[in-house]
Structure 1
Amino acid sequence: MAISEDLKGVIGAAVTPVTTSFDIDTGRLRAHCETMLDQGCHMVSTFGTTGEGASFSVEQKLSAMAEMKAAGLDMSRQVPGVIAASLDDAARLVRGYADLGCRAALILPPFYYAYDAPGGLGDFFAAVITRAGGPDIDVLLYNFPAFSGLLFTPERVQEVLDRLGDRVVGLKDSTGDLDAGRALVQAFPDLAIYTGDDRILSRMVQAGGAGMIGGLPNVFPADCARLAGASQDDPLQQIASARITAVDAHGGLSVLKGLLARLYDDPAFARMVPPLRPVPAGTIDAIAAELYSPEKESA
């Protein structure tokens, strides 16, 4: 089975604007998703790591998605995240996303308990789909061992494939490990393998990867879309590396939200759900002065 063409490209992992009471601000989130799509992202992934997905309840996430759909957001271009430690929560999200018409669900393995015994991961994914009622929605596996505690090796991927078969259409690899990413591409040529790291995006695509699901498209959507097809000597490569280094060095997600608050001239975008806190505005201004310097903008 060949990789579906609609899965290829850059998927923006959207930040989640929140209200003063730390509820999801669906109006701002919908507008931001539409901006990313208009400026080069092929699809959008809400409520993943960049979207503070673990900080919101099942009800909050499904209600927000339903409100955005009612307001006209194209759900066929949505790949929302499933970050849940419980089987029931994961299943409810998968069912809800399917009912809303989302393109796929990006599912993080269950966290908290360590599980090394062969078969346990496959048991979880199979149980999620069964409990969800076997909905008509594709699955992307989410490889982020820093949060889940589990590394998706080719053997682990195969464990899930053995249980879910063609329902699994891809994997997001957030490790930033180029060799490991290439190994996944080689082992599973029929799966859409995405990197989460701009610095290796073009090399992953050249190796047969599908593209990227990442956070930098929040603030540089057009450049990230261009980067997917860039040559190794394209000046954008060095610029992208400098950008992700600067963002990660000062707080990652909180920097992205601060930059968006500045870009949109809307301080509400900088709000974080506790225990996370915003980056001071002065720090954001200094980072922006570096990232948006004239020489970088002209590249």
Structure 2
Amino acid sequence: MQSTRPLKVLAPALTPFHADLSVNRPAFIAFCRWLVAQGAGLAVFGTNSEANSLSLPEKIELLEALVDAGIPASAMVPGTGLCSVPETVALTRRAVELGCAGALVLPPFYFKPATDDGLFAHYAQVIEAVGSERLKLYLYHIPQFTGVPISCTLIERLLKAYPGTVAGIKDSSGDWANTERMLREFPGFEVFPASEALLEKALPLGAAGCISATANVQPGAIAQALQAWGTPGFEALQAQLKGVRSLFQAHPMIPALKHVVARAFGDEGWRHVRPPFVPADAAWAEGLCAQLTQAGFRMERP
């Protein structure tokens, strides 16, 4: 069943670095402004933001800088999940204070095995410590990175305990059966697949849109496809989106995205990544750019 909510695309915005790997704040602000102008929301400090290579002070400073620059907090659902409750609370609380639309919260991912009871206790402590009716918490399910799955049993328990606060989930598992189950079992819960390639299957079941790595490079095209959902033009737009997504997925995603942004924006500084990543290798990166051009991909410059 299709959702009556406005469909949204959110970009886990790439984080640009200087040559010394300090954050390039002006470039970050400019990039986020461009994403919003293209019709995307901002899931800053997501996986493709290299979030777990950023410190808590860096994240708070960048979030405040975006708001100070006039980028609407209502367009932001920052990633605020860290392994410790105090740090997760600090970043989530600041996001709420700034007026962000929500907070995307990873489970604590170091100590394993993590039981549903333990994960419930973690999320409950975060919600109660933030202590705000304005908090909209989005769970972040990416077990291939965290090793900590968010089960449907846990979702059901959190929804019963914190209705109106636990608002949705990003499902980055890559397991369509899991995404489909969430969509069917929790109507009204905002489920975001992690790829625009799944929109044709997810939207009829009520998906809220998508939070996608490749929204960094085709935000306008994804926004256009969401607007076209239910019209004859959607199928062609979806096919184009899937083609571009598949080309990026054949390579290390973050270095690939940054290489393409560097080419499109004419700024080689965008190729910088923090370890353990290394910059895109020219041997495959230039081949990727050629394939994208052949596929009709063009990235709008700011």
Q: TM exceeds 0.5?
A: yes
Q: Distance in 2 between matches of 1:179 and 1:208?
A: 15
Q: CA deviation at 1:232?
A: 9.8
State TM-score, norm by structure 2: 0.90
Listed one character per residue, the Cα deviations across residues 36-80 of structure 1 (whole Å, up to 9, x for unaligned) are 121122x11101101111111111100111122112111110110
> Judging changes above 3 Å, is the alpha-carbon distance between structure 1 residues 295 and 162 closer, same or farther for their aligned structure 2 residues?
closer
> Judging changes above 3 Å, is the alpha-carbon distance between structure 1 residues 4 and 239 closer, same or farther for their aligned structure 2 residues?
closer
Question: Which amino acid in the other structure matches residue 35 of structure 2?
Answer: M
Greater Cα offset, 221-230 or 103-112:
221-230
Greater Cα offset, 233-242 or 107-116:
233-242
Aligned counterpart, 2:186: 188
> Judging changes above 3 Å, is the alpha-carbon distance between structure 1 residues 19 and 233 closer, same or farther for their aligned structure 2 residues?
closer
Q: Distance in 1 between matches of 2:5 and 2:275?
A: 39
Aligned residue among 207, 210, 234 for 1:209: 207
Q: Distance in 1 between matches of 2:137 and 2:249?
A: 28
Aligned counterpart, 1:259: 260
Aligned counterpart, 1:286: 287
Greater Cα offset, 12-21 or 139-148:
12-21
Q: Distance in 1 between matches of 2:116 and 2:8?
A: 33
- Which runs of no fewer than 5 residues in structure 1 stay unpaired? none
Q: Distance in 2 between matches of 1:238 and 1:5?
A: 24
Aligned counterpart, 1:237: 238
Question: Which amino acid in the other structure matches residue 212 of structure 1?
Answer: C
Listed one character per residue, the Cα deviations across residues 203-236 of structure 1 (whole Å, up to 9, x for unaligned) are 2012111100011111111221233327698234
Q: Distance in 1 between matches of 2:295 and 2:132?
A: 52
Residue 223 in 1 paired to residue 221 in 2?
Answer: yes
Superposed counterparts of 1:1-299, under 5 Å: 5=5, 8-41=7-40, 43-134=41-132, 136-228=134-226, 229=229, 234-293=235-294, 295=296
Question: Which amino acid in the other structure matches residue 19 of structure 1?
Answer: H
Greater Cα offset, 239-248 or 30-39:
239-248
Q: CA deviation at 1:132?
A: 2.9
Q: Distance in 2 between matches of 1:191 and 1:294?
A: 35
Listed one character per residue, the Cα deviations across residues 10-54 of structure 1 (whole Å, up to 9, x for unaligned) are 11121111122322222111111111121122x111011011111
Q: CA deviation at 1:198?
A: 1.9
Q: Distance in 2 between matches of 1:232 and 1:186?
A: 26
Q: Distance in 2 between matches of 1:63 and 1:295?
A: 38
Q: Distance in 1 between matches of 2:136 and 2:199?
A: 23
**CA RMSD after TM alignment:** 2.2
Q: Distance in 2 between matches of 1:97 and 1:26?
A: 18
Q: Is the Cα–Cα contact under 8 Å of residues 129 and 135 in structure 1 kept in the other structure?
A: no
Question: Which amino acid in the other structure matches residue 111 of structure 2?
Answer: Y
Q: Report the 3-state secondary structure (helix = DSSP H, G, I; strand = E; otherwise coil) of the residue aligned with 1:194.
A: strand
Q: Is the Cα–Cα contact under 8 Å of residues 243 and 295 in structure 2 kept in the other structure?
A: no
Greater Cα offset, 110-119 or 203-212:
110-119
Q: Is the Cα–Cα contact under 8 Å of residues 103 and 137 in structure 2 kept in the other structure?
A: yes
Q: Is the Cα–Cα contact under 8 Å of residues 45 and 79 in structure 2 kept in the other structure?
A: yes
Greater Cα offset, 87-96 or 219-228:
219-228
Q: Report the 3-state secondary structure (helix = DSSP H, G, I; strand = E; otherwise coil) of the residue aligned with 2:42.
A: strand
